[in-house]
Amino acid sequence: MVLRGRLPADAAMPTPRGFVQDFASVETEYLSATSEILRAVHAGDAQLSPATVAILEKNLAVIDDALHESRDALMRDPANSALREMVLGSYRQKLDLLRRVTAGRVEL
């Protein structure tokens, strides 16, 4: 089972100058939680079928694309609170998807 992401799970994302510290700590928490769940998926703890893994990879790629686009925009405009919320919203969406799939509460 291989779940691909744009960055390694433990890769640090660059932080724009003037970034709000609270945002950075929340972002770190999302990255840590996501990494932990992905490690469980890779270890086989979630016992997902190959079809479910394929759909999960596809959905994660869409979320990762949105994250990267939002993060790039935020790097250019770090004071933009709407962009910060878009980034955090994408992290929440990714984390929610991973939690629901690994808990077996969603059919893909």
- The answer to whether residue 13 sits within a structural domain is no
End-to-end CA distance of the chain: 16
Domain annotation covers residue 60: yes
Asked if residue 2 is part of any domain, the answer here is no
Q: How many CB atoms lie within 10 A of CB 97?
A: 19
The answer as to whether 5 is a domain residue is: no
pLDDT tens, 4-63?
444 444 444 554 444 455 778 888 888 888 888 888 887 877 788 888 888 888 888 898
**Per the domain annotation, does 31 fall within a domain?**
yes
What range defines the domain where residue 46 resides? Answer: 21-103
Task: Count structural domains, the chain.
Answer: 1
Tell whether 25 is covered by a domain.
yes
Q: Could you tell me if residue 66 is inside a domain?
A: yes
Tokens encoding 87: 């980034």
- The answer to whether residue 92 is domain-embedded is yes
